[in-house]
Amino acid sequence: MNFKSFVKECHDKEVFKNLSIYIVSSWVLIQVFSVIYEPFGLPKISMTYLLLVLLVGFPFYVYLLWRYRLKPLESKFSRRKGLKVTSKTAGSKEELKGLKKRKVHLPGVHFYSPFQKLYFTSLFIISLISLFSAALIVKANFINQDNMSAFTFPEEPDNDRIAVLPFENNTTDPNLDVIGKMAVDWIMHGITQNKVGQVISPKVVEDYTKVLKATLVPSGENGVLKEYLKPSKVVTGTYYLKDGRLLLQCSVLDGNMNRTLVSFEITECDADSPLDCIEAVKQRVLGYLDSKGMAQLALEETPPNYKAYKLWLESDALLELQSDEQLSYINEAIAADSSFFKPKIDRVAYYYNRDQFAVADSLLQVLAAETGTKKEQLNMIKHYEACFNGDNRMAYRTYQEEYNVAPVEIELNLSTMVLALQFVNRPQDVDSIYRAIPEDDFDLDNCISCEYRYFVKGMANLELEQLDETIELLEPYARTAGQEWIKEVLMKAYVMDENHTAVYDLLQHIRLLGRIDYWQLMMLKTGLEYLKSGDDSKANQYFDEVLEYQEKRGALLSLAEREIQAELIFYKKDYPEAQNKFEALLPESGDAIAIQSFLAMTYYKNGNQIMAEESLAKLDNLRAKYQFGEVDYALARYYALTDNEHETLDHLTKAVAAGKRFTSTTFQNDVLFQSMKSKEDFQKILTFWY
């Protein structure tokens, strides 16, 4: 039986009609349930369970359809031509042999007709699809959760109500009851003042209990909370005396009071100064309640002091603005709570991101020595140790663990994209990381991280030769006033797309905005892109336009402009003039490695081999800690210019092994390495960290 005949027979036997009944009924059930589950007080996860039941039930329905509707029809062999012979009525060996050919046996199933065989084949395929779909739902809703409690209905109500219960006096001194009342009042005041949630006081619980008792409804403190007030969290505590000292213990429970969410360390103070204990406990409670759900604070062994937490929030906001004031808030947060890990690791990151690697490394060593055994803290320390050691693979791997906790937090998301592209050169990883955050809510004018995410995404697209997607993503920002990182990638895409008019218009727009320093740098980078594509004429047009502008400014050129000028002359192959420019820059420039490298190359091109060798020796003497392969990369550029492929590849390998990053101007994006990009040994360097 062919497929067309099978479909026709299914139609004749009303198979599709019966299947449509299940599908339409399921759809109606889902629609109705989506409306009624909330009024009935069912959790949102109920819808997931319903979908799973309907998916898994579909194959069973298909089988039952066969068992009770189709099988009785199939059993009437007398009505089917060619199926009248059975093992009992077969009169010859030939008839019996023919019967065996018609029967196809599977464990527990006997196919007496082609229709049945195709029906069960379809059932098998439907079962696979249903199970696969159910597996995806389970993975998305349960397997990726932080703990396996996701398989059960949530015990904690989804609200911001926080009940504060009386603190139990275990001192045996009723005169100290006032301490418990003070603790409750202090914590409630802090919750209300800082808008952490809606407070349910012991008085409210007591009033509800009295009312319910008066109406003869069974009640008790726990029952009132669970059945009527339904807080999301419950704060409770106890206090006692030991050797003349007051010890105060506090915990936060879930709304049903059957699971302890956090139990704070015992706070100890002088019995005559109970407010010291109460204030310390309040800070811990507020720190926990306000930071609950912030994935980055999963690093903490104990909830931070609330004052420290607020200071850290200020520092985190300044991180987005790349403000130097961030450091003062970080230091204040650490001073307010010496056990607060996040600002300590943020301080390491602050110096690391500003290339002050020695300071950052020394702070990391101190932090590592005082850190306990918490996995998340050790992982972040291991990450920065890998960064300082130039072990890019380990740096990427350890940060992925941090990213997996909160893929939608923009700083974690951006850092992971940067690590994927620039540390280990895996542009194929960038897209899934980028798409973890919806694009709708970005204000690029006030979000530097958002802009840089576009830059990294665009560069990854170019590495994967996705030109159209890159232009479509970034072109809306071609005429904006800022977004300089985005414009660099857009320029590269236009050059690769041979859209020369768009390139020129983009550069002219940048110049009209008045950012002359940035315009000169972009003109240099544009010329280099044309050199990479083999269009020397176009490259020189951009170089000459900048040089003409700089010539008019004369002695007014800044150090940065003079460095651009020297490079422009070098790439125009005016090596004698380039030598003069770089020699003049060497005493002033802060990048001695780059200047010495250019000098060595100009000396070589000018036929002065002795001076070239001297520059190489000076370059080699510039080696120092935390350079991450900078010197070897500079040497590789020299040997590439001199067509010494063996030395070029050798130094490039050393550079990448020391942690040299894959940026928009290095390795495959460096104009000096274009002749060897397609060679196998060069490709091995690009995949060094795979």
pLDDT reported for residue 297: 55
Expressed as residue numbers, the domain containing 129 is: 3-151
| Amino acid identity for residue 384 in this structure | Y
R_g (Cα) of the chain, nearest Å: 36
Kindly state whether residues 165 and 244 are assigned to the same domain.
Answer: yes
Kindly state whether residues 175 and 141 are assigned to the same domain.
Answer: no
Q: Write out the H or E segment, with its range, that includes residue 437.
A: none
Q: Which residues contact 12 (CB under 8 A, 6 or more apart)?
A: none
Q: Tens digits of per-residue pLDDT, 115-161?
A: 888 888 888 888 899 888 888 888 777 665 444 444 444 444 457 78
Which backbone phi and psi does 218 adopt, to 5 degrees? Answer: -55, 130
Greater pLDDT, 77 or 202: 202
pLDDT reported for residue 361: 96
C-alpha distances in Å from residue 12, one per residue of 17, 71, 72, 270, 457: 10, 14, 15, 89, 54
Q: What is the CATH number of the domain that holds 239?
A: 3.40.50.10070
Other beta carbons within 10 Å of 309: 26
- Read off the pLDDT of each residue in 8-31 and give the average, rounded to a whole number: 87
Q: Could you tell me if residue 439 is inside a domain?
A: no
Q: Which of 151, 183, 204 is the last residue of a domain?
A: 151
Q: Which residues contact 134 (CB under 8 A, 6 or more apart)?
A: 52, 55, 56
Kindly state whether residues 266 and 170 are assigned to the same domain.
Answer: yes
Pairing of strands 260-263, 245-254: antiparallel
pLDDT bin (cut points 50, 70, 90) of residue 94 is low
Q: Is 169 helix (H, G, I), strand (E, B) or coil?
A: strand
CB contact at 8 A, 522 and 491: yes
Give exposure, 14-30, as e/b (b: 16+ Cβ within 10 Å): ebeebbeeeeeebeeee
Kindly state whether residues 7 and 144 are assigned to the same domain.
Answer: yes
Q: Could you tell me if residue 498 is inside a domain?
A: no
Most confident of 68-82, 319-333, 616-630: 616-630
C-alpha distances in Å from residue 351, one per residue of 301, 478, 644, 664: 24, 33, 38, 23
| Average pLDDT along the chain | 85
Q: Could you tell me if residue 356 is inside a domain?
A: yes
pLDDT bin (cut points 50, 70, 90) of residue 686 is very high
Greater pLDDT, 219 or 496: 496
Q: Residue 548's Cα: distance from chain center in Å?
A: 46
pLDDT reported for residue 585: 95
Kindly state whether residues 228 and 246 are assigned to the same domain.
Answer: yes
Nearest C-alpha neighbor of 340 from the set 292, 286, 377: 377
pLDDT reported for residue 81: 44
| Amino acid identity for residue 356 in this structure | Q
CB contact at 8 A, 491 and 470: no
Kindly state whether residues 318 and 179 are assigned to the same domain.
Answer: no
Q: Could you tell me if residue 140 is inside a domain?
A: yes
Kindly state whether residues 79 and 167 are assigned to the same domain.
Answer: no
pLDDT reported for residue 73: 67
Q: Quick check: 436 pLDDT over 80?
A: yes
Nearest C-alpha neighbor of 149 from the set 258, 50, 225, 233: 258
pLDDT bin (cut points 50, 70, 90) of residue 207 is low
Other beta carbons within 10 Å of 44: 11
Per the document, the length of the chain is 690
Kindly state whether residues 38 and 101 are assigned to the same domain.
Answer: yes
Q: Rounded to an integer, what distance in angstroms lies between the CA atom of residue 417 and that of residue 423?
A: 10
Kindly state whether residues 124 and 15 are assigned to the same domain.
Answer: yes
Q: Rounded to an integer, what distance in angstroms lies between the CA atom of residue 123 and that of residue 455?
A: 49
Most confident of 243-257, 308-322, 350-364: 350-364
Q: Quick check: 601 pLDDT over 80?
A: yes
CB contact at 8 A, 522 and 510: yes
What is the torsion angle, in degrees rounded to the nearest 10, for the CA atoms of residue 153, residue 154, residue 158 and residue 163? Answer: 130
pLDDT reported for residue 115: 80
- Count the domains in the chain: 3
Q: Could you tell me if residue 465 is inside a domain?
A: no
Six token digits for residue 442 = 């970005």
Q: Quick check: 110 pLDDT over 70?
A: no
Least confident of 61-70, 439-448, 615-624: 439-448
Q: Rounded to an integer, what distance in angstroms lies between the CA atom of residue 129 and that of residue 127?
A: 5
pLDDT bin (cut points 50, 70, 90) of residue 40 is low
Share of the chain above pLDDT 70, in %: 85
C-alpha distances in Å from residue 198, one per residue of 39, 234, 664: 22, 12, 51
Kindly state whether residues 84 and 167 are assigned to the same domain.
Answer: no
Q: Quick check: 303 pLDDT over 80?
A: no
Kindly state whether residues 345 and 369 are assigned to the same domain.
Answer: yes
Share of the chain above pLDDT 90, in %: 47
Six token digits for residue 633 = 């990369």
- Read off the pLDDT of each residue in 218-240 and give the average, rounded to a whole number: 75
The residue with tokens 């062919």 is 2
Kindly state whether residues 168 and 139 are assigned to the same domain.
Answer: no
- Read off the pLDDT of each residue in 413-425 and give the average, rounded to a whole number: 95
pLDDT reported for residue 213: 54
Q: Tens digits of per-residue pLDDT, 469-512?
A: 999 999 998 888 888 899 999 999 999 999 999 999 999 999 99
What is the torsion angle, in degrees rounded to the nearest 10, for the CA atoms of residue 487, residue 489, residue 491 and residue 492? Answer: 170
Q: Rounded to an integer, what distance in angstroms lies between the CA atom of residue 679 and that of residue 657?
A: 19
Least confident of 255-259, 347-351, 483-487, 594-598: 255-259
Q: Quick check: 214 pLDDT over 70?
A: no
- Read off the pLDDT of each residue in 502-531 and give the average, rounded to a whole number: 94
